[in-house]
Amino acid sequence: MTVTTPELPTQYAPADVETQSYERWVSEGYFTADVGSERESYSIVLPPPNVTGVLHIGHALDHSIQDALTRRARMRGFETLWLPGMDHAGIATQNVVERELAKQGLSRHDLGREAFVDRVWQWKEESGGRILSQMTKLGDGVDWSRERFTMDEGLSRAVQTIFKRLFDDGLIYRAERIINWCPRCLTALSDIEVDHSDDEGELISIRYGDGDASIVVATTRAETMLGDTAVAVHPDDQRYSHLVGTTVELPFTGRMIPIVADEHVDPAFGTGAVKVTPAHDPNDFEIGRRHGLPSLTVMDERGVITAHGPFQGLDRFEARPAVVAALRAEGRIVAEKRPYIHAVGHCSRCKTVVEPRLSLQWFVNVQPLAKAAGDAVRDGRTRIHPPELAKRYFDWVDDMHDWCISRQLWWGHRIPVWYGPEGEVVCVGPDEEAPPGYVQDADVLDTWFSSGLWPFSTLGWPDRTPELERFYPTTVLVTGYDILFFWVARMMMFGLYAMDGTPPFQTVALHGIVRDQFGKKMSKSSGNVVDPLDWISRYGADATRFTLLRGASPGSDVAISEDWVAGARNFCNKIWNATRFALMNGATTAADLPAPADLTVADRWVLSRLQAVVAAVNAGYDDYEFAKISDQLYHFAWDEVCDWYVELAKIQISAGGEVADRTRLVLGHVFDALLRLLHPIVPFVTEELWRALTGGPSVMTAPWPEPAHAYADQPAENEIAALQELVTEVRRFRSDQGLKPGQRVAARLRFGGTALAAHEVAIRSLLRLDDPTASFTATARLAVGEEAVVELDTAGAIDVAAERRRLEKDLTAARKESAQAAGKLGNEQFMSKAPDDVVAKVRARAAQADADIARLEAQLAALPAS
């Protein structure tokens, strides 16, 4: 047999192989989807990272999952498309660039709209480049030829197209409403861009009016009283029924405002009377609408009081205490302020307290779209995984408010609506022009509006491109549960709407967020943020990926630490060295695997285990259980192949002849399969090793292993298990007795007719046991399982007391076990109700325990006196 032994170093050095492999993968076109192929399609669109920053460890998890799915699908013979791209991230990006300008003492207004947008584009080129480089470092097998950006030409056309269609269908409208307004970003926000937190406020009671014509209202927002246009009480509230329909005087203003009755008021809260400020509170706006009250805006877009009088020009947070102080001076504070915890909305971008503000904005009427989005999951056209999270999705889509889509920003898709000189409103489609003299709406669209089109706009929609025909709907969407509402629901709504009722994904697979080793969320302030590039450079991309995937269960958060990634690095090194061993020993895939009948028990055992692992890994992929997949492969590779099969193979190879040749085939076959199974998770090390082992061009083009049921072999598994038990027991003795691992000991083995007899050579080799000499004197007698007995000649150097303690401890355990089992077997209820296989197991356990007792008692008796 000719053996090529490539020069592999004794340690795996990721940096040496990663870049090289990746470049070859790209240049060979392995990542590029072929729309014309006959294969079945498998497609994933990458959740586009925001151009604002760099990829964090959470992206690394998200990408690792998608890469593993794509690589496996490709090996299984699918035509795979993993489509990459980035999101322009309107408000986030604009903020970043504005901050940069601020360093030079400039604002966007100094540049003007056009120059500012140019500046953002410039910045995007730099930032986007960093992200792409990170993706190559991670090993992301994306189709670079189809990379997209939410602001590129095709996608802008998609945005205009769907806007126009929704507009024409009456699903987009413009209205004056109370919306969430960020007084710092100076733009409207949608509901989900507002984070609520429980903040401490003060509830104070204020007397409006005087004498009989007075009423006490409770509020946390005294400063808005300048805009009050009514006081509301509950219609059934006896305390105030005589006042309904009358008016009171609003302090400071001299205005007389009506007292109205409205169901919304909770008589049990505060004083049971509410001040109504329609222009600055969403509830009050509704009350105002029901009662025909005027809306009086008393604050500008920056939160500064505009109402004439002593408070004009004060910021909203200065105005509050000022108003309260003035009220106190007039003796209008009835009950002193008391602390009150209530939910306050904050801008999710800059944390500024959101101001409800009455303004003219564009909205999507989500009712029909959200209904369809819910139904697609309800009827199983799209499956959400894990299913528990579907409930959250339903809660959201089934109770969704209209979506405010206009943003008072400059970076984004400009709203394609133009206004004529007479106030005409025209929505302009992608291939149309606005009439002369018309002016375009100054606002841009919410970022999520364009991200919502991602699964089809990236494939060429609105054109019926071959890509769209072939890869829509996508096979699976992989993303964090944290953007289920932000993004997934939007894509579902738009996908169903644009693609005639076909949802954008067959499955939505949700993962969690990455946390540190104590389960803490990563944040700059906690100092526990992990930079994926840092780990990749120090431990390798494979180790980083393996660490993340090993913790990834559907919908669950992933905890990681540097110790663990070091462990993953060690695993990669283990695979490296084990394969190196196989290569050095002439492992080959050049011929077919021999039939089970022609193989040794050890060969049959490892092949039986291999096919079981293949099946388990496949089952894991079906459920997106990456933690289970990784664990299966880790333990099979390390605990079974490396710790046992490789050791047994050494013995078989040293025997020479046909056994050795067959062992080389089994080794070759096992490592070939193992590397293929591991490839989607740890692509780099497996590629390097697989090419060395098989001489093939790339493991990426090798077929995915399927279980070889013909090699399932329970008897072989049982036999090797018995061998492992015996070897472990003798090793335990040697370790307890302080016998050095290398020290050879004369021994006599008796197997009492068990199958283990066939393994005597292996057992002696693994345990460093010599044949008995003429002067052999047994100083320790170990009995193991079945009827095997190992007698050792340690030249009397054994610690009898230690061995006695050991045996007595085991004996106690065996007696307890026996008693327990006997108790069950003597229990009538158990015997009549428990299923047969359970009873059989207990019987076996009892027999085992009794045999152990007899054996241990004999061993104790055989111990020499100390």
Partner RNA sequence: GGGCGCUUAGCUCAGCGGUAGAGCACUCGCCUUACAAGCGAGGGGUCACUGGUUCGAACCCAGUAGCGCCCACCA
Q: What is the footprint of RNA within residues 804-843 (CB under 7 A)?
A: 817, 824, 827, 829-830, 833-835, 838, 841-842
* Phi-psi region at 626: left, alpha or beta (left = phi > 0; alpha = psi -120 to 50): alpha
Task: Give the range of 11-19, 325-333, 471-479, 491-499 binding RNA by CB under 7 A.
Answer: 11-19
Binding pattern to RNA, positions 174-203, x when CB under 7 A?
Answer: -----------------xx--xx-x-----
- Does position 464 interact with RNA (CB under 7 A)? The reply is no
Q: What angle do CA 284, 285, 289 make, to 5 degrees?
A: 115
Residues 341-360 that bind RNA (CB under 7 A): 342-343
Closest CA relative to residue 685, chosen from 553, 541, 793, 863: 541
Q: Nearest approach, Cβ of 159 to RNA (angstroms)?
A: 24
**Closer residue to RNA in complex, CB, 308/342:** 342
Tokens of 781: 């007698």
Collect contacts of 113-118 with beta carbons under 8 A, ≥24 apart: 113/410, 116/410, 116/411, 117/410, 117/411
**Closer residue to RNA in complex, CB, 24/731:** 731
Closest CA relative to residue 243, chosen from 252, 253, 255, 234: 234
Binding pattern to RNA, positions 305-344, x when CB under 7 A?
Answer: -------------------------------------xx-
Q: Nearest approach, Cβ of 219 to RNA (angstroms)?
A: 4
- Does position 37 interact with RNA (CB under 7 A)? The reply is no
Q: Which residues pair with 343 in a beta bridge?
A: 198
Query: In the chain, what is the straight-line distance between the N-terminal and C-terminal CA atoms, in Å?
Result: 56
Figure out which of the listed residues 1, 4, 7, 11 binds RNA, where binding follows CB under 7 A: 11
Residues 550-569 that bind RNA (CB under 7 A): 551, 553, 556-557, 559, 561, 563-564, 566-567, 569
Q: Nearest approach, Cβ of 356 to RNA (angstroms)?
A: 8
Q: Nearest approach, Cβ of 600 to RNA (angstroms)?
A: 18
Figure out which of the listed residues 75, 215, 216, 572 binds RNA, where binding follows CB under 7 A: 572
Task: Give the range of 6-14, 35-43, 165-173, 793-801 binding RNA by CB under 7 A.
Answer: 6-14
Is the dihedral angle over the CA atoms 702, 704, 707, 713 positive or is it negative?
Answer: positive
Number of H helices, E strands in the chain: 27, 29
**Closer residue to RNA in complex, CB, 473/554:** 554
In whole angstroms, give the CA distance from residue 67 to residue 555: 18
Residues 672-691 that bind RNA (CB under 7 A): none
Give Cα 196 to chain centroid, integer Å.
Answer: 24
Figure out which of the listed residues 32, 214, 246, 283 binds RNA, where binding follows CB under 7 A: 283
Q: Nearest approach, Cβ of 68 to RNA (angstroms)?
A: 18
Amino acid sitting at position 506: Q
Q: Which residues pair with 783 in a beta bridge?
A: 789
- Does position 264 interact with RNA (CB under 7 A)? The reply is yes
Contact residues for 363 (Cβ-Cβ < 8 A; gap 6+): 172, 173, 174, 175, 177, 402, 403, 404, 405
Contact residues for 536 (Cβ-Cβ < 8 A; gap 6+): 14, 137, 138, 544
Q: Nearest approach, Cβ of 422 to RNA (angstroms)?
A: 35
Contact residues for 242 (Cβ-Cβ < 8 A; gap 6+): none
Q: Nearest approach, Cβ of 574 to RNA (angstroms)?
A: 5
Q: Nearest approach, Cβ of 410 to RNA (angstroms)?
A: 27
**Closer residue to RNA in complex, CB, 216/716:** 216
Q: Are strands 355-364 and 273-276 parallel, antiparallel or unpaired?
A: unpaired
**Closer residue to RNA in complex, CB, 414/609:** 609
Strand order in the sheet with 425-427: 425-427, 417-419, 439-440
Residues 38-97 that bind RNA (CB under 7 A): none
Figure out which of the listed residues 435, 697, 738, 753 binds RNA, where binding follows CB under 7 A: 738
Distances (CA, A) of 81 to 474, 610, 626, 627: 9, 30, 21, 24
Figure out which of the listed residues 89, 188, 218, 468 binds RNA, where binding follows CB under 7 A: 218
Q: Nearest approach, Cβ of 628 to RNA (angstroms)?
A: 7
**Closer residue to RNA in complex, CB, 355/467:** 355
In whole angstroms, give the CA distance from residue 27 to residue 21: 10
Q: What angle do CA 497, 500, 506 make, to 5 degrees?
A: 85
Please spell the DSSP secondary structure of 50-65, one letter per residue.
Answer: BTTS---HHHHHHHHH
Figure out which of the listed residues 53, 154, 235, 267 binds RNA, where binding follows CB under 7 A: 267
Q: What angle do CA 767, 651, 601 make, to 5 degrees?
A: 95
Figure out which of the listed residues 322, 596, 845, 863 binds RNA, where binding follows CB under 7 A: 845
Q: Are strands 505-511 and 383-385 parallel, antiparallel or unpaired?
A: parallel
**Closer residue to RNA in complex, CB, 157/280:** 280
- Does position 144 interact with RNA (CB under 7 A)? The reply is no
Task: Give the range of 38-46, 72-80, 726-734, 752-760 binding RNA by CB under 7 A.
Answer: 726-734
Residues 419-458 that bind RNA (CB under 7 A): none
Q: Nearest approach, Cβ of 561 to RNA (angstroms)?
A: 7
Q: Which residues pair with 86 in a beta bridge?
A: 149
**Closer residue to RNA in complex, CB, 99/740:** 740
Closest CA relative to residue 537, chosen from 47, 26, 134: 134
**Closer residue to RNA in complex, CB, 286/375:** 286
Residue holding tokens 């660490």? 547
**Closer residue to RNA in complex, CB, 152/647:** 647
Figure out which of the listed residues 35, 322, 642, 660 binds RNA, where binding follows CB under 7 A: 642
Figure out which of the listed residues 289, 290, 391, 464 binds RNA, where binding follows CB under 7 A: 391
In whole angstroms, give the CA distance from residue 760 to residue 771: 11
Is residue 128 within 8 Å of 86, Cβ to Cβ? yes
In whole angstroms, give the CA distance from residue 821 to residue 802: 29
**Closer residue to RNA in complex, CB, 12/149:** 12
Residues 497-556 that bind RNA (CB under 7 A): 515, 517-519, 521, 551, 553, 556
**Closer residue to RNA in complex, CB, 441/729:** 729
- Does position 647 interact with RNA (CB under 7 A)? The reply is yes
Q: Nearest approach, Cβ of 189 to RNA (angstroms)?
A: 12
Q: Nearest approach, Cβ of 146 to RNA (angstroms)?
A: 32
105, burial (CB in 10 Å: exposed 0-12, middle 13-18, buried 19+): exposed
Figure out which of the listed residues 76, 165, 378, 650 binds RNA, where binding follows CB under 7 A: 650
**Closer residue to RNA in complex, CB, 51/232:** 232
Is residue 397 within 8 Å of 373, Cβ to Cβ? yes
User: Residues in contact with RNA, total (CB under 7 A)?
Assistant: 96
**Closer residue to RNA in complex, CB, 17/559:** 559
Residues 466-495 that bind RNA (CB under 7 A): 482, 485
Contact residues for 483 (Cβ-Cβ < 8 A; gap 6+): 47
Figure out which of the listed residues 85, 270, 416, 705 binds RNA, where binding follows CB under 7 A: 270
Q: Nearest approach, Cβ of 548 to RNA (angstroms)?
A: 12
Residues 745-784 that bind RNA (CB under 7 A): none
Q: Nearest approach, Cβ of 573 to RNA (angstroms)?
A: 4
In whole angstroms, give the CA distance from residue 249 to residue 815: 90
Q: Nearest approach, Cβ of 631 to RNA (angstroms)?
A: 6
- Does position 417 interact with RNA (CB under 7 A)? The reply is no
- Does position 621 interact with RNA (CB under 7 A)? The reply is no
Residue holding tokens 């903040």? 199
Contact residues for 298 (Cβ-Cβ < 8 A; gap 6+): 224, 226, 227, 279, 280, 305, 306, 307
